[in-house]
Structure 1
């Protein structure tokens, strides 16, 4: 049984950087969830049949990404989608997108690692442009290591992946401003030999970001054992194992009811690959539902919750069983074979105190994050080793929002996270705000 999760197509205009006064003109359709997008271009003025080359190339890319698309536990399930598109000048290219909502910093780096590996095997005239709908995440991460001349908006559309290396269009090309998309492509067609190696300019910033791929990604994956009593639901998970992350995220549902009464017969045990971040949601679920803090009950109780969530998502058609085709079992010894991973180690004890209010604890953690007291890994690279760490991180976060032109205060951000991220209704948000000021 193949499961699909209907999703919106992110317009190709999101592939490019725009100056603030131009963005609203070019990017009309908003995007609800953070999505990484990329374009693969064949830039060769002497090429006679780029369309045919791209059709062959897209099949190669699909093959390269297949094991990751089928078995990596993507947070929004769908994985990396590919399509053939055209720019306004009719130039064809391969367009890819990956919805990475709630796990952007991890999954954008997985995709970047895959694209770098792919790029190493492509011809020199093939260039890849990659960013996400929140901005140019690569430039944001390495900006402090680059010469200051490459600050926004000068850096617009200058960053490209070619032959396995990130490269920059030099400042001599429209040095006073960024480049428009077609200007960047024209430079690549005429003067690609002038491209600058980003690692040379930034003291190896890209190498530091990606040197341990895929080992660093794989080290954050664990095996989660579940008992799925419903045979249909169990079969869906066996044939669509990457669905588990999306189901775990969906456990924050106040209408979900799980009994912790367990009989002696617990048939239906399966193992699934999950990220440590998603496995860490389980203690919060146990706390929120008042379930017994017994780790031996995790497979059966979490399995019941997963089954209940799946039924709700099938009923409201958030996910759909498309056909009866069985997904191939993963080949033994391959990269994402379950035997390569350690079992999940889950500690159900969230706090040493009694009667912990999960929502209050969450609110406090969110406020600490806004105050710069929580380390943001893989997003902003600050040294948090000294007494000024909190102030440095706070200033770094604020500078990031300023650079991106995002005008948002702490209350607005908190309300957005509670409403859009955790799907809390207005009444619950009001209660949380009232509790926080008492």
Structure 2
């Protein structure tokens, strides 16, 4: 008598959403899906039923590091120390990847009698079809799915089963994980101080997170400048510093770090053996205008010598709606340690594409930053009619850099959802309830 044959498939959502806020609160519902088991009996076999010894569901994170070059077509690369770049942007078919796969969560379902599960279909080609639902609680601090020039982060749900006839079945499906920010405050402010600068001494950048749209990033720059070194030569004139324009550009920064396996729970105690950085300019613009500071103090006013004037500029940062920004991934998303899949994995479900090729942990982070080049002049005006008398050539303060939050905002009011927290993972569930004492 020939054995029955089986097949395994997965039904899972194409994407799964994770919610977080700036305070560190996170929430992620379990991944819900179903394993479809198809059992087909041979025409000559008896109606002997096939049960399962086990059904295992795993969530796998696959972080790959590519040796492909950082693309340079239409991009701006800054050749600074420790920055990875190349003069040959061609990517050949011989490029290789290094893979580190981690088991984020693993659930073993107990299916003692398959015939007790609901039969959802039958066909001559596939036989009887049974649907076994499952839920996988996952940590809410996982990095988003992303694809970059230095590597990728991908997630898979893998199912494996063994029948009572000794048949190993497996299936896997890719799932996209997306992080959504729930803003706790509308404005985010960052300050840069330039103590040794002769022109711009401080910039306060205020980003309006709540007003971000598909084509605009609202932000305001308050620029502090030093007053002219000397006052106007005539009593009928005064000097001031003016800003004539701002060149802005948004850069995408991708970092790739290799870490050997480390016993310590603190990342600071684990050595990093390689660091690659790829910087790519994704959009830029020039904002022309005229923003005049307060008149410089007269030579007799010694108390105002050290005071810097400031102007507030509403930045017009616009980009095409078709512009795609990669998700931002912080190194804190890798704090938790998970078991690594390797060739010693006994389950037949872990095909070569789900096995690690290195014992080093691969960490891939992404961020965005805003760079500003500010053009200034020193102008002299008549005190009566404020007409321009003299203008010194433009001076440019280069490369003022600020972290920029480009986030996928959550829709609706998720505050209540965050207050509930995430459901516990299986290893966090107590084995038995606590003992209560009678009073």
Q: Tell me which protein shows more helix as a share of its residues.
A: 1
Give the TM-score normalised by structure 2: 0.22
Q: Considering Cα pairs closer than 8 Å and 6+ residues apart, tell me whether 1 or 2 has the greater RCO.
A: 2
TM-score by length of 1: 0.22
Higher Rg of the two aligned structures: 2
Richer in strand (by share): 2
